[in-house]
Amino acid sequence: MLRLPRLQRVSSPRLGETNRVEFFKERPISALLLDAFGTLITASEPEGRVYLRYAQRYGCNLSEQEVVQKFGTLYNAACRGVKARYIKDGRAFWGPVISQATGCMQPALLDELYEYYSQNNAWHVCVHAKEALSRLRSLGIKTAVVSDFDTRLQPLLQTLGLADLFDAVIVSAEIGADKPDPRMFLAACAALKVTCADAVHVGDDIRRDVEGAKAIGCRAWLWGYDVRSMAEVAARLHGINLKWKRKSSTRRRKCIICPRTPGFQGLYTYVKVGRCIYNADCHCSGLA
């Protein structure tokens, strides 16, 4: 007599009920969405120091601490109540903030700062980022940058040698909204042709990155807490997919050969050794 494993209560597809939490945890990840500033790249020198160095050429006599304090206050005020901080190259946003923070109203100051930040020596790329992204892409995982940035980001990624490691670059200046607006994440998933449930977003801001991504069904890891390096991102992502692959032969499936088994019509079955446990006489080989 065939000894059957204990049955577990499962949901009925006819009623649209599924164990979403369990399925979500097991689902493999086919796309990595990555924040830019603060995660993938950081400024190689404190911004306040850079602003002051260039502003001193135009007569600025403030201290670095004063510039930093004024900049923080002005930046936060400019962001308040704004859905999208940056339009096109962001000059309309950055110009007034930097001018008032340094006390220098010369347009040439902003031009020089833009020139400085277009160079690769102004930025630091996260350690092992290139190697980790290359590894993930070789495993078939799609990648995209999702960043609150202006239109300078794409040429900057090219300068830093990162552009070829991403299948899509989504910037708020082009979408017309900053994170956590769902349009940012939806645009990335659409560009990669994946569902939100198949993607994980990594960023350093709880509200904008983590809560924003989770709100539309993506998984999200907080940079510096859930993951602390690109090597860890790659290892964790690969581990999830490897675990899914190992379990794929024994996960819940629906028997398409004997769906009318008395008492079990329409239920998900647990398939083991190619045999439907709800019917000992069923040796079906076609499993949905």
Q: What is the pLDDT of residue 83?
A: 84
pLDDT along the chain (288 residues), means of 10: 40 37 64 96 94 93 94 91 87 93 92 93 95 94 96 94 96 94 96 95 96 95 95 91 68 47 41 44 44
Same domain, 168 and 237: yes
Q: What is the pLDDT of residue 25?
A: 55
Same domain, 58 and 30: no
Same domain, 27 and 147: yes
Contacts 24+ apart (CB under 8 A), 39-43: 39/126, 39/202, 39/203, 39/204, 39/223, 40/125, 40/126, 40/129, 40/145, 40/162, 41/123, 41/124, 41/125, 41/126, 41/160, 41/162, 42/123, 42/124, 42/126, 43/122, 43/123, 43/124
Same domain, 241 and 222: yes
CATH number of the domain residue 101 falls in: 1.10.150
Token look-up 């923080």 returns 72
Structural domains in the chain (count): 2
Same domain, 158 and 35: yes
Same domain, 159 and 36: yes
Q: What is the pLDDT of residue 263?
A: 43
Q: What is the pLDDT of residue 26?
A: 60
Q: What is the pTM of this model?
A: 0.76
Q: What is the pLDDT of residue 247?
A: 64
Q: What is the pLDDT of residue 264?
A: 42
Q: What is the pLDDT of residue 212?
A: 96
Same domain, 224 and 107: no
Q: What is the pLDDT of residue 245?
A: 72
User: What residues make up the domain containing 151?
Assistant: 23-40+126-247
Same domain, 117 and 151: no
Same domain, 132 and 105: no
Same domain, 84 and 180: no
Say if 260 falls within a structural domain: no
CA end-to-end span of the chain, whole Å? 27
